[in-house]
Amino acid sequence: MKQIDVVALGELLVDFTPAGLTDRGATLLAHNAGGAPANVLAMLSILGKKTAFVGKVGQDSFGLFLKKTLVDSGIDIAGLTISKTEHTTLAFVSLDEKGNRSFDFYRANSADVMLRREEVPEELLAGCKLFHFGSVSMTAEPARDATLYAARRAKELGKLVSYDPNFRSALWAHRDEAIQAMLAGLAFADVVKVSDDEVELLTGCRDFSEGARSLVSGGAKLALVTAGEQGTWYASVSGIEGHIPSIKVDAVDTTGAGDTFLGALLSGLLDYGRDLEGIPEQKLRRIIRFANVAGALCATGRGAIASMPNREQILEQLEREAEG
């Protein structure tokens, strides 16, 4: 049985992001590997963790590019299915003046949506320490069934389960359907990360601290609400709660910043061990601060995986912040 630190399941796609203008003023687009679960694994791999991805891409040039990206990132692809009948999902990213992004997806009946539960390798779930998933793979069947099956099975096997209910309104036919599907994922989660845009959607709370506490009351052992430059609010089942400010950076592209944060956070939690209930407050705050810096540094470059910092860069930034 393979020994893997983290297995993640979900979407793997190509992000087309703005990359300047032609001489005639037309927008140039760069294609980058995307998909939140794969991004999380990439950051974990950078920090030295053994990772594996479960998902599906098309047997087209984009799918082969994504497969190579996973391999180059040190991510095990035993759970990657290459489809001969479905195309790889494409996403076109628009950025505002602050680097915040919006998405247009070309995804109907594409490969990642067509992942089936029988394509989820049992041996990967059995051999990992932590299973991670998101909600984008729950927007349609059969991937929704495959996602919830894998999360349930990981829980049954006694694994830590991490969940990112990543809301993309363009991917859901109805808002209520999205809420119900994302709430279904919470039933299996030990660690939950939501953004400032998602916390009220899932908890009804506008206050970030209250929202984090609500997620813990619902069953999570650790809940985090990320709010970009405002920092991160957190609450744990042991009663620890608080806020860690972010650092100021010149953001160019926030694509993947939240995934980078989560990858760095999970790496720190795995370094500590499985007992999330017993983690000391100062240790938890150091882990979150490290993750905040990782996410902020990612936003200073274009593309998610291409802009992820390594451990040395994160520690150097933390030292500069301490000196300042």
Judge whether 233 and 242 are in contact, CB under 8 Å: yes
* Whether the predicted pLDDT of 1 surpasses 70: no
Average pLDDT score over the chain: 92
Complete DSSP assignment for 71-113: HHTTEEEEEEEEESSSPPPEEEEEE-TTS-EEEEEE-TT-GGG
> Which of 24-28, 109-113, 117-121 comes out lowest in average pLDDT?
24-28
**What's CA 157's distance to the chain center, in Å?**
22
pLDDT tens by residue, 64-110: 999 999 999 999 999 999 999 999 999 887 777 666 667 788 888 89
Task: Give the residue, 96 or 315, on which the prediction is more confident.
Answer: 315
CB-CB contact of 191 with 160 (8 Å) = yes
Structure confidence at residue 229 (pLDDT):
86
Which stretches does DSSP call E strand in 137-275?
A: 160-164, 191-195, 222-226, 232-236, 241-244
Whether 52 shows a pLDDT value over 90: the answer reads yes
pTM: 0.94
Cα separation of 154 and 131, whole Å? 7
Calculate helix-pair angle for 36-46, 257-272, nearest 10 degrees.
50
Question: Is a pLDDT exceeding 90 seen at residue 2?
Answer: no
pLDDT of 164 higher than 90 = yes
What confidence tens digit (pLDDT) does each residue in 178-226 have?
Answer: 899 999 999 999 999 999 989 999 999 999 999 999 999 999 999 999 9
- The predicted pLDDT at position 184 comes to 95
What average pLDDT score do residues 269-292 get? 92
